[in-house]
Structure 1
Amino acid sequence: MDTFALVVTIAVALFFTYTNGFHDSANAIATSVSTRALTPKSALAMAAVMNLLGAFLGQGVAETVSKGLIATPSGNHGMAVLFAALAGAVVWNLTTWYFGLPSSSSHALFGGLVGAALAGGTAVHWNGVVDKVIVPMFLSPVVGLIVGYLIMMAILWFFRRANPAKAKRGFRLAQTVSAAAMALGHGLQDAQKTMGVVVLALVINDPSRGFGIPVWVKIVCALMMSLGTYAGGWRIMRTLGRRIIELDPPQGFAAETTSAGILYATSYLFKVPVSTTHVITSAIMGVGATKRLKAVRWGVAKNIVGGWFITMPAAGLVAALLFWLVQLAFG
């Protein structure tokens, strides 16, 4: 096996998790920044630390990514498949970041894996793709929308006699906790996805090593995601924080609490990789709908949801094209 190919593939995987960090930093902190519960710098620092911690709290999602979606390809051919998958995901991340569209880094990665695998003649575990990716992709936003709506309704009922100004101040403080919980869940989910890909690269390089996750893989993936998070994704933050709906502190708290709960449940109970972007965006929509349906800018929401549906096939197509280019150049 070409060691250079392994090093390059791992480097691209780490760059992907860096782009994941700055692309998805808005997921954890956009609501807190928009309600002025946290300053942008303090929010990014908090999110970076919590992402780092979250990456060490489990490995079920990583195992799903490393062996549940595609068959393990072999040799330099297999490394080319993995390289193209990661490169396709990076290209899609950078494109959607440029346009300020909160698409899913997770589904860009999954689309890249499937597209590159198909282009390279590697078997795709379609049952795994459907059960672990497609079903959660449709189900998690629905759950986020409904739970966000219900939690916000509960907050409105419990605090119906509270002084509005005092309640907002209290929820502004509470958002510090809910944003931290959301960032921890983001690290728990998204850092593990890159860990799974790096482990797959190591297995391709040495099939006898097995799918265990080395400590150094956890550390470097967590650090790269934290660095990306601290770099910030201001374009997407504006979309989530203000363009869907103008959030107040109780709404921000409800959206973040909803999202964090879903991320923990999917990570520990079901061990399925879900999109933090899908979850927080749908939770914001559900929370906003409690004010009145027209309060949510559904035109913006429609564009975001449209981006969700094209992410996997678009990243898959880019990955397939990159695989053919790699084969043309080095095959």
Structure 2
Amino acid sequence: MTLSHTAWEIPYSEWERLAELASVQERAQVTADHFRNAYLQAAEKPSDHPHRAMTVCAPSLQELPTGTFAGPIEVDVAGIAALVFEGTYHVGDNWYFDGEITLKVVGLAVWTATVHLSQDNPSLTFRAKAGVVEADITVSFVHSCLRASGSLRYWTFSGWKQANFDETLQCFGPQTVSAVQLGAGAEISDFADFTGKCGENQSATSATTLKVNQRVRISRQTDLSSCVVGNNEACVYGIQLTRIAHPIYSYSISVDAQGPRNAFGSFYLAFKDQTGAVYHLRVFDSRRNTHTLMFNSSNAPITEFKWNNKDIKNW
């Protein structure tokens, strides 16, 4: 992969071009100054995983009359760039998958490609270029699972960095895990009680932990939407821990949530299990949906979680 700039200084014309691309993709006016400032801020303080791409957002499947819809599934790199996958899988002997890949830089879409996978064409390769970010992407269907692999290079103050990714995005058919319905109506024993302060940028803890098949309850409230909140109407309605049948991961945290109602923001959550490991979820879709965070752990019950309008780092 080659890049046009190797020095730390990025010409202003590059930011103008990125702003033009984002304005078209987002269907909203994005200025070069806004794009530049957002990128420089993200590049100055990258996330805790700067050299590895990781799936941070994977809503549960939706069964539609036209097929099984997956997405948007987000693979994030350092909080700077992300690849977003979505589409519909049509089952049968002549199966096919129709969808899109979007490259986002600091939360703004700058490149989109159409994907059509089938038995005759189960794999496609793309190259996305957006000035300060470039990506080589292979999307494929293997054993009824949608996969994405490749590399993404991005500019930082210390030079160009590269993150490789090889992710199983979603499995269909017998391995499918259906969406979890969250909310009131379950027995008391189905809930794990958490205590914490409601509002933006807060946290909650549980002395008994959130165990498999339990849902979070805060101050005996099962609907969390007035407690776990963010800016611009972002909120969480419910959280559940589940054991899943997946080729790589053993557990998932299903989060019924919606992101901020604007083109530029995200809502961030982080969950700590009994081993002390922390798992991150970023919600950027302003529509209410069930988002699935998949992980492996030797002691999966959740002891604490946080929510914030900014990326949760160094926890």
TM-score by length of 1: 0.21
TM-score by length of 2: 0.22
Q: Which has the higher contact order (CA 8 A, sep 6+)?
A: 1
Higher strand share: 2
